[in-house]
Structure 1
């Protein structure tokens, strides 16, 4: 499994002539790293002097956020694997024989299944990554002040995850025959991109104001 590789091994595999893992898996990895960074900020906050001064509602929000980002971190690591598996499955489908009507039909169905997964997984990455922003807002507003830059890096990684996943969706949209579905997906991606950029900029403005 990719997530079991050492960092150096993973980077070498990524840079090899193998087409997978590729950008889709890295988008998911970016989201996992964003989750882990947010987790670090919360872990550096809970139990500290400033944390103890917060009202219970704020403490609960921080505690809950830590729990959620840890779940997301694991989820995105699994999506790293799934994205690579989906791509390899699609490539395998294209190599299936097409000498008879039955083989042609089997190949067509396998390609459709592979292409559906190649759209579904990055969409899941993009939408799930976007859901990390509220937790990062909490990290920025209430987290350990010495780790506010780490929360900013987490926000940047979320934006990278969303953009990277959307690029993978858009390249696979070309294989969709249903024009309405194609337009719907593209609009969904464009809307998600805009919202993601807006949220990231809001977070960066807060961070910049606290660093002045």
Structure 2
């Protein structure tokens, strides 16, 4: 389980010649880091007299960010597992026509899954950007730069996950599936970049 190893071991594994963990797992880690920073800023706001009016909102944000952090940590392994499934499909026998057909179908199914996992990561990372904006604008001003970093990490998670969607789409033959995901990633990409700029524009230093 990649999510349960220490940071140094994870980075050593990433730096190795093994293709997993790769960019997809790194995207999930970026998203989890964004969630953790969001959670931290919210918690640093709770209990402060100056921010009593937003205390309940910050408690809710901290709880939701914690849930997203845990989900994205699991996605580190889900992405690696989906890649391994694709590689496993390619290793299936292909001597007979039946074997070739089975292998081709398995490759396509596994590749679709390998595209869907990072798409989910991108959606989750983008979805937390509203919370990040809230902690930047309403949260503890002493931690505003942590909120800014959360915004940048969330944007990075979205864009890097999207790249992993795109590379898998190039191998998928289902045109309707490809068209649907292509449109989704285009919208996410544009929205994440725009939202990051909005959030950073509200960072008062």
Q: Secondary structure at the match of 1:206?
A: coil
- 2:64 pairs with 1:64: no
Q: What is the CA–CA distance in structure 2 between the aligned matches of 1:86 and 1:113, rounded to whole Å? A: 10
1:135 to 131, 152, 155: 131
Question: RMSD of the alignment, in Å?
Answer: 1.1
Q: What is the CA–CA distance in structure 2 between the aligned matches of 1:21 and 1:33, rounded to whole Å? A: 17
Q: What is the CA–CA distance in structure 1 between the aligned matches of 2:4 and 2:56, rounded to whole Å? A: 33
Aligned partner of 1:13 in structure 2 is 13
- 2:180 pairs with 1:184: yes
Q: Which runs of 5+ in 1 are unaligned?
A: none
Q: What is the CA–CA distance in structure 1 between the aligned matches of 2:148 and 2:105, rounded to whole Å? A: 44
Q: What is the CA–CA distance in structure 1 between the aligned matches of 2:166 and 2:95, rounded to whole Å? A: 31
2:195 to 184, 199, 203: 199
1:84 to 67, 70, 80: 80
Tell me the CA shift for residue 144 of structure 1: 1.1
TM-score, L = length of structure 2? 0.96
Tell me the CA shift for residue 77 of structure 1: 0.5
- Cα-to-partner distance string for 1:140-182 (whole Å, 9 max, x where unaligned): 0111111100000000000000000110111111112133432
Q: How does 1:1-212 map to 2 (within 5 A)?
A: 1-52=1-52, 54=53, 58-207=54-203, 210-211=204-205
Q: Which runs of 5+ in 2 are unaligned?
A: none
Q: What is the CA–CA distance in structure 1 between the aligned matches of 2:10 and 2:202, rounded to whole Å? A: 34
Aligned structure 1 segments of 4 or more residues deviating by more than 6 angstroms? none
Q: What is the CA–CA distance in structure 2 between the aligned matches of 1:113 and 1:69, rounded to whole Å? A: 32
Q: What is the CA–CA distance in structure 1 between the aligned matches of 2:56 and 2:46, rounded to whole Å? A: 10
